[in-house]
Homo-oligomer: A and B are copies of this chain.
Amino acid sequence: MINKNYLKLPGSYLFANIGRKVNEYSQANPDKRIIRLGIGDVSLPLAPAIIKALHEGADEMGNAASFHGYPDYEGYDFLREAIIANDFKARGVEIGMDEVFVNDGAKCDSAALGEIFSTDIKVAVCDPVYPVYVDSNALAGRAGDYQEEKQYWSNLIYMPCVESNGFAPELPAERPDVIYLCFPNNPTGATVTKAQLQEWVDYANREGSVIIYDAAYEAYISEEDVPHSIYECEGAKECAIEMRSFSKNAGFTGMRLGFTIVPKALVRDGVSLNQLWLKHQETTFNGVSYVVQKAGAAVYTPEGKQQTSEQVAYYMNNAKYIREGLIAAGFEASGGVNAPYVWLKTPQGMNSWQFFDYLLENANVVGTPGSGFGPHGEGYFRLTGFGNYENTVEAIKRIQAL
């Protein structure tokens, strides 16, 4: 009677595993000061404009006249209006109010979006990639069986993102129904240009595939020709769903807020996916906390924009420091230009988890094993710019002294 797909999933969720390993080490070595550059969690406190909105939201909830009960399924109008104006209209993209679905963090929708598709579809993923796409499809039975020695799921289409293609996937040989793309990429920090992304949009429209585009790191883009939204490409509303997050541009990892765009023009099997997703949200979800949405809207005020862009710059400065420090120490490292992630090749033939242990034990630095993001992540390692600057400098000093 249980869902047997759960038993196929090897081990626990990557970051839960890392957490347990680090806890064990730190309990056994209470004198060591561990620096965590592993999970992509932010370290700066919420910006003052956001805190101010949180306090205002709290006061409103304590007052009968301004109290808010059940939120809208799709998110409050004030937040969706700010999203549309700032994230899309300002880039020349028109998105309708009923195409925006506010959620309690992009991870939930990353996992849940699969539910509007049948269980016998073919799913394509970049490899390596943020594990939630693969794991959630595996739990739903869309990934087939796990092949331990190859670390492959039998029914997925893997699109290797490796040194030879600049960590950008190539169009798959086999037609996928659903394609997960994440740019700027987690974990490699790589991006694609607008022209390259247009090729994917054209491919999806030609083949009838749906692209699920994860743009959680768009605030970190520093180069001109890198698109912030897939809807900057022509025809994307006919083939793409886009996921966004407040976690990384505004430090909301502990607040839980994100949103998903499902265009009304996206039709498959004669059905609007926008209507399917609305049905999904109305049936299985009950909206996001008022105070959190109120805080989210503050991100789009002039003060909020100014303050959060300073935070992004702070993290990007860390990422630059990591990348340059690693290269100076003789590592091969990329990323860190349009993303807070630096992707390095593990040295001396160590595999990813061996390097994880080596770094934890010898430098007391926590990173993320590349193999945790898929088979083509093996031999790589992810460090993030989300720590504080002093710790980041100290971590690189320790790594350079190894």
Interface residues of A (CB under 8 A from B): 1-4, 6-7, 9, 12-13, 16, 39, 41-46, 48, 50-51, 54-55, 57-59, 61-64, 67-71, 73, 104-105, 107-108, 111-112, 115-119, 121, 132, 135-136, 139-140, 177-178, 208, 210, 253-256, 268-269, 271, 273, 276, 278-280, 282-292, 388
Structural contact, A283 and B136, CB atoms closer than 8 A: yes
| B1 and A118 form a contact (CB under 8 A) | yes
Q: Which of B16, B69, B283 contacts A111 (CB 8 A)?
A: B283
- Beta-carbon contact of A104 and B104 below 8 Å: yes
B289 touches A61 (CB 8 A): no
Distance, CA A302 to CA B392, complexed state (A): 43
**Please, how many angstroms separate the alpha-carbon atoms of A2 and B120 in the complex?**
10
The reply to whether A43 and B58 form a contact with Cβ atoms under 8 Å apart is: no
Across the interface, name the chain B residue whose C-beta is closest to A138.
B283
Interchain CA distance A266-B3 in the complex, whole Å: 15
Q: Point out which of A59, A112, A116, A254 has the most chain B C-beta atoms below 10 A from its C-beta.
A: A254
Distance in Å from the Cβ of A258 to the closest Cβ of chain B?
Answer: 10
Would you give the shortest CB distance from A327 to chain B, in whole angstroms? 28
Q: Residue of B at shortest CB range from A115?
A: B3
CB pair A51–B62 under 8 Å, yes or no, is: yes
Known: A2-B268, A46-B67. 19 other contacts (CB 8 A): A1-B117, A1-B210, A2-B118, A2-B276, A6-B279, A44-B64, A45-B61, A45-B67, A46-B61, A51-B58, A51-B61, A54-B57, A58-B58, A61-B255, A68-B254, A105-B286, A107-B285, A107-B286, A291-B291
Q: Is the CB of A289 within 8 A of B290?
A: no
Closest residue of B by beta carbon distance from A388:
B64
Q: Beyond A16-B73, A67-B45, is A116–B6 a contact (Cβ under 8 Å)?
A: yes
The answer to whether A62 touches B48 (Cβ under 8 A) is yes
A134 to B282, CA, bound (A): 13
Indicate which residue in B45, B62, B111, B280 contacts A139 across the interface (CB closer than 8 Å). Answer: B280
The reply to whether B254 and A69 contact each other, CB–CB distance below 8 Å, is: yes
* A39-B70, A46-B62, A58-B54 as given contacts; A107 in contact with B284, CB under 8 Å: yes
Q: Give, as a whole number of angstroms, the nearest-CB distance from A298 to chain B.
A: 12
Within the complex, what minimum Cβ distance (angstroms) separates A392 from chain B?
Answer: 15
Q: Is the CB of A2 within 8 A of B117?
A: yes
Given contacts A1-B117, A273-B2, A284-B108, contact A69 B9 (CB under 8 A): no
* Known contacts A67-B46, A256-B288; is-contact A121 B1 (Cβ 8 Å): yes
Nearest-neighbour CB distance to chain B for A105, whole angstroms, equals: 5
Asked if residues A62 and B45 are in contact (CB atoms below 8 Å), the reply is: yes
Contacts of A104 in B (CB 8 A): 104, 256, 286, 288-289
Query: Are A276 and B3 within 8 A (Cβ)?
Result: yes
Q: Chain B's nearest CB lies how many Å from the CB of A235?
A: 19
Contacts of A6 in B (CB 8 A): 116, 271, 276, 279-280
Closest to A61 in B: B46
The 6 closest A-B pairs by CB, nearest first: A111-B284, A51-B62, A13-B282, A54-B58, A41-B69, A68-B254
CA gap between A256 and B43 in the complex, in Å: 25
Cα(A98)–Cα(B118), bound, Å? 33
Interchain CB contact under 8 A, A269 and B1: yes
Q: Can you name 10 A-B residue pairings with CB atoms under 8 Å?
A: A1-B118, A1-B121, A1-B177, A2-B116, A41-B70, A51-B58, A69-B253, A104-B104, A108-B286, A256-B286
Whether B61 lies near A291 (C-beta < 8 A) is no
Contacts of A7 in B (CB 8 A): 271
For A255, the chain B residues whose CB sits under 8 A away are 61, 289-291
Residue of B nearest to A109 (CB): B284
A107 and B216 CA atoms in complex are apart in Å by: 26
Q: How far is the CA of A280 from the CA of B68 in the complex (A)?
A: 30
User: Which chain B residues border A44 with CB–CB below 8 Å?
Assistant: 64, 67
